Amino acid sequence: MDLSKHAFFEGKIVPLADAKINIAVHGFLYGTTVFSGMRAYWNEDKKRLFVFRPYEHFHRLLNSARMMAMEIPYDEEGLIWLTLDLLRTDDWKEDIYLRPTIYKADMGIGVRLHNLRDEFSMFVTAFDKYLANDSNAHLTFSSWRRIDDNVIPARGKVSGSYANSALIKTDANRAGFDEAIVLDQNGHISEGSAMNIFMMRDGILVTPPPTDNILEGITRRSVMELARNELGIQVVERSIDRTEAFIAEEIFMTGTAAQIVAATKVDFRPVGKGVMGPITTKLRALFDDVVRAKIPKYEQWNVEVK
Ligand code: PMP
């Protein structure tokens, strides 16, 4: 991976090689770290880099921190400023991915959240596709269950809970699938290992509600708005049963890293006609234009690096 030369580390921009965390740090020992994953896209016509919805990403990050009893001396705007500073330092001219983290930074043994120092850090990496087969992914149902809100906040992006995502992803990949659909404790479809899920059923776009243990995805929210406003499609948030995946007309998954992934098979059954469907095709094209700041109506989602 093509990592950034610099990182923002505990209060200042430093060479990435100096952004080091001790092995005795709480966030490393206990997974008491929260994070976000943002993208910035290069617009070749404008010769500019645009960060996609950083306010929403930092808002969710600060909410995750709140759930984990963390405090840092920045608000959303402050975090956007230091992001722009960091991106200017390395002068990126390609699509990139940013990984901000807030973590319990004190050293030593003792599992808890209180009376511990919190720190913020961020690094950047060049980033292309997350899933190679993003136009014809084969999904399976994971035998793992999605973490429940009463176990670890599912709507928070807590590092420790990504052990669940890693178990899901590795088992799916080793069994020959591209990604997995994960059910929650009630047996409803929740999401993927690190992406939200949508399906077209009888011409309506359906996605699980925030109360079915999903991460409240920013791509999910953007796609819902684009589907409603630009394609005139009805979008419904409701619980989804497992077998609905076998009779959906289209299925796709969304995430910052994944973008919009078309699923064309679920456990060897073709989704719809077994090829990427028309709604997924339109949304993917529209989304790519929106994230690259090519559509004036949505330019408030793009923060220019200048
Ligand atoms: N669910 C999980 C578990 C994730 O890790 C991600 C990636 N952040 C998503 C959904 C998608 O969220 P977003 O669109 O905000 O990246």
Tens-place pLDDT, residues 73-82: 999 999 999 9
**Mean pLDDT across 173-186:** 97
Which residue's CA is the closest to the ligand 1 atom numbered 7? 194
Give yes or no for residue 34 having a pLDDT over 80: yes
Which residues, 6+ apart, have CB-to-CB distance to 44 below 8 Å?
Answer: none
**Mean pLDDT across 31-40:** 98
Write down the pLDDT at residue 82.
Answer: 97
Write down the pLDDT at residue 277.
Answer: 98
**Mean pLDDT across 124-144:** 94
Token pair belonging to 13: 């921009």
The full set of domain ranges for the chain reads 6-126, 137-291
Q: How confident is the model at residue 301 (pLDDT cuts 50, 70, 90)?
A: very high
Q: How confident is the model at residue 1 (pLDDT cuts 50, 70, 90)?
A: low
Task: Compute how many other C-beta atoms are within 10 angstroms of the C-beta atom of residue 125.
Answer: 13
Computed over every residue of the chain, the mean pLDDT equals: 97
Catalytic residue among 12, 157, 282, 294: 157
Work out which ligand 1 atom sits closest to the CA atom of 218: 15
Ligand 1 close to Cβ of residue 220 (< 6 A): yes
DSSP state letters, the chain:
--B-SEEEETTEEEEGGG----TTBHHHHH--EEE--EEEEEETTTTEEEEESHHHHHHHHHHHHHHTT---S--HHHHHHHHHHHHHHHT--S-EEEEEEEEE--BSS---SSS--EEEEEEEEE---SSTTTTSEEEEEEEEEPPPTTTS-TTS-BGGGHHHHHHHHHHHHHTT-SEEEEE-TTS-EEE-SSSEEEEEETTEEEE--TTTT----HHHHHHHHHHHHHH---EEE----TTHHHH-SEEEEEETTTEEEEEEEETTEESTTSS--HHHHHHHHHHHHHHTT--GGGGGGEEE--
Give yes or no for residue 52 having a pLDDT over 70: yes
Q: Which CATH class is domain 137-291?
A: alpha beta
Which residue's CA is the closest to the ligand 1 atom numbered 5? 194
Work out which ligand 1 atom sits closest to the CA atom of 191: 1
Write down the pLDDT at residue 129.
Answer: 87
Tens-place pLDDT, residues 245-276: 999 999 999 999 999 999 999 999 999 999 99
Which residues, 6+ apart, have CB-to-CB distance to 269 below 8 Å?
Answer: 246
How many angstroms does the Cα of residue 37 sit away from the middle of ligand 1?
8
Tell me whether the CATH fold assigned to 6-126 matches the one assigned to 137-291: no
Is residue 157 annotated as a catalytic residue, yes or no?
yes
What percent of the chain has a predicted confidence (pLDDT) above 70? 100
The amino acid present at 232, given as its one-letter code, is: G
Between CA 31 and CA 160 the distance in angstroms is 4
Write down the pLDDT at residue 128.
Answer: 84
CATH architecture under which domain 6-126 falls: 2-Layer Sandwich (3.30)
Mutate which of 53, 184, 256 for ligand 1? The one with the most ligand atoms within 8 Å of its CB, which is 256
**Mean pLDDT across 197-208:** 98
How many angstroms does the Cα of residue 195 sit away from the middle of ligand 1?
5
Ligand 1 close to Cβ of residue 219 (< 6 A): yes
What percent of the chain has a predicted confidence (pLDDT) above 90? 98
